[in-house]
Copies of this chain bind each other. A is one copy, B any other.
Amino acid sequence: MGKYNPANRCAAGAARLACLPSLTRCIVKNADLLLTNGVFLTMDEEYHVYSPGAMAVREGRIAAIGPQMEVEAGFQAVERFDCGGRVVIPGLVNAHTHAAMTLLRGLADDMRLDVWLLGYMFPVEREFATPDFVRLGTRLACAEMIRSGVTCFADMYYFEEDVAAATAEAGMRALCAQTVLKFPSPDAQSFEDSLAASREFIKRWKDHPLVVPAVGPHSPYLCTADMLRQSAELAAEFDVPLHVHLAETALEVENSRREHGMPVIPYVKKQNLFDAKVLAAHCVHIDEGEMRTLLHYNVGVAHNPSSNMKLASGFAPVVKMLETGLAVGIGTDGPASNNDLDMFEETRLAAFIAKGQSGMPTALPARMALTMATRLGAKALYMGDRIGSLEPGKSADVAVVDLSTLHNSPSFSHSTDALYGQLVYTAHASDVTDVMVSGRWLMRGRALQTLDEAELVRQAREVAKRIDTFLIERETSVFSKLVAIGGATEGESFEVQVKVRLADREGVVRALGAEPFSVLRARRYREYDTYFVFDDPAQGRLRYREDEFVGEDGEVYNVRYRLTLTGQARDQSYAASILVSRSRFIAPATHSLRFYREYFQPAREIEIRKDRRRWLVHYHDTEFFINLDQVSQPKLPGYFLEVKSRTWSRIDAENKAKLIVEMLKDLGLDTAQAVGAEYVQIADPPA
């Protein structure tokens, strides 16, 4: 099954073409289709170019490819396709994407990764990602990819079986990985669910001619060690690929070092991840030792130039990875972080970035970039035997490109490099005119053959409208935004509370040590509160609270972060400024203050810092919290005593209010000294 060699001619004079072993005898053979009059860039190991060339297709595979005269002499075909002098290349391989996210493209840009992901992608997916959504999004993606010359892609998403079905219907080829996550996802309540779903999916699609099913443990940071292990075992059991994000950001590597004592690649290796045929997306932050590990385990890598820049993940060491010998393909990543599926743009960027980053304009030349987008991508997806170059025996997956358009003019032919250069540096996705997968036309003369483009655009518009409505409603409500990022537990709590100002605290501390008080627990901590205030007071105030617990020795032994959304309106007030306030929402604050600031976009912020001594006491058979606060920001003279108790009924609240009035007397204080305001109101009095 050799390459075409003009010296290999058989006696009868007919060409001995590069062809299938079964077709090598020198008689005129039948083919289903003959593509003629094209410039064929085979992208094979020797980079053969046939101009004018021809290609014979039989049963979806390339039966022969070579100089036009010789292929025409060797084959007769039912159908002929005149390439009109255009360039024929192997269909491009998009080595990493989340196809259905076409429906989320442009939803949110220019944001921090966590705000983007936790504030927008995940909440919208929780609300909208259904099998129908996934099918529509995948169809839209297939339409866009076919238009831009892509014939195969590697996917990872939810309801992956629907991705597979939509892809197969569109006639495209794909590696489809069912996502496995450590938290509930739109298609699985637990890890066990998603692994079981992956198993069933793999079983059902294992022998499909176009779809290669796979398991997709999202990443080491969104999977437990056990999930990585079990995913690898599943993939190995069925000999299917495993698709994963590895070392995408510096933070991920930093966290891996801190949590596991090693960077990402050694960590996942330790979990036996590489027992499977791994396709690793990103690999932005890996060193040469890790590259050698990846090579040793034959790991395929997907480089995602646009996404890595747009999400500011960094510049992947592509030149080094290629030098190491890794099969590095090129991917668009999901269209929500790109924001398109344009492999022409990605291929150009791969070459551009390598040059810009290395300071060497000779780095990653055009031919190599195109190799990544075709042959190396196919290899990274473990499909190198079937696709990625135009060679006899491989599937007839091709894209026809018109390089005679205005922005491609003129063309130079003094060197074959100019042809690769033109495809990579000048050609646009819109120059693709015809696309074929497995011998079936998916686009002819720029018209899609398997998908109704106008209908897809119409349906996508409907979905976008619904998402817009969801987001507009959410954006108007701090409450909804808090719900949207998850983790927060809704709960209404009523609190009975009084606050009294006092000049010194010794009297109170002494009184608490004696009857009728009985101290159950005593604590000391420093509280740092940041209140987000919004233009519309009805939104309430959101408090980001950081508590540093201070031990007997004066050392901080614990820190707690909490978010609390409090309604502006007082719900009920009793005698002596004893309040009942309703905390509408309390949640652990798992992200940084900066995250919440960017996400909630408050109109103003108010900071309050205090040193607090806190006692849980029994007083006349009732539990109360007593806080003795010294407020340093804003600087308030003296001390504040707060008495608080949670309550779930109005009658209980009234009883407690009466007890508090008594208690203040026992502490030598007067209800007349009560302050009818929260600290935030003292710090920021209403205008």
Contacts and interface: CB of A to CB of B under 8 A. Distances in A.
A418 interface: yes
A364 to B, nearest CB: 8
B109 A365 contact: yes
Given A107-B412, A407-B147, A312 B356 contact: yes
Contacts of A102: 409
Given A356-B314, A411-B464, A468-B414, A425 B457 contact: no
Given A112-B361, A361-B116, A410 B310 contact: no
A365 B308 contact: no
A681 interface: no
A430 interface: yes
Interface in A72-116: 102-103, 105-113, 116
**Chain A interface helix/strand/loop/mixed:** helix
A401 interface: no
B457 A404 contact: yes
A352 B306 contact: yes
B428 A428 contact: yes
Given A110-B421, A425-B339, A428-B430, A406 B143 contact: yes
Contacts of A112: 360-362
Nearest to A419: B106
Interface in A103-140: 103, 105-113, 116, 140
Interface in A423-440: 425-426, 428-430
Interface stretch (A198-206, A340-348, A482-490, A526-534): A340-348
A468 B413 contact: yes
B140 A409 contact: yes
A511 to B, nearest CB: 52
Given A106-B421, A341-B407, A457-B409, A472 B414 contact: yes
Contact of A418 (B107, B358, B429, B461): B107
Nearest to A367: B110
Interface string A457-474: 100110110011001100
A286 B359 CA distance: 17
A417 interface: yes
Contacts of A406: 140, 143-144, 147, 453, 456-457
Contacts of A308: 356
Nearest to A463: B410
Contacts of A103: 410
B356 A422 contact: no
A598 interface: yes
B339 A106 contact: no
A352 B309 contact: yes
Contacts of A311: 355, 361
A468 B360 CA distance: 26
Interface string A288-316: 00000000000000000010111111110
Kindly state the interface size class of chain A when it binds its partner.
35 or more
Contacts of A411: 106, 461, 464
A475 interface: yes
B464 A417 contact: no
A339 B475 contact: no
A363 to B, nearest CB: 7
A6 B130 CA distance: 43
Contacts of A409: 102, 140, 456-457, 460-461
Nearest to A464: B410
Contacts of A643: none
A19 interface: no
A312 B358 contact: yes
Contacts of A456: 406, 409
A645 interface: no
Contacts of A430: 428, 430
Interface string A137-159: 00010011001100000000000
Interface string A324-349: 00000000000000111110010001
A417 B309 contact: no
A353 interface: yes
A628 interface: no
11 contacts: A105-B426, A106-B421, A107-B418, A108-B418, A110-B362, A111-B361, A312-B361, A338-B425, A339-B426, A340-B426, A410-B464
Given A106-B422, A342-B428, 13 more contacts: A103-B410, A105-B426, A106-B418, A106-B425, A143-B406, A144-B406, A147-B407, A308-B356, A341-B407, A342-B407, A349-B352, A414-B467, A414-B468
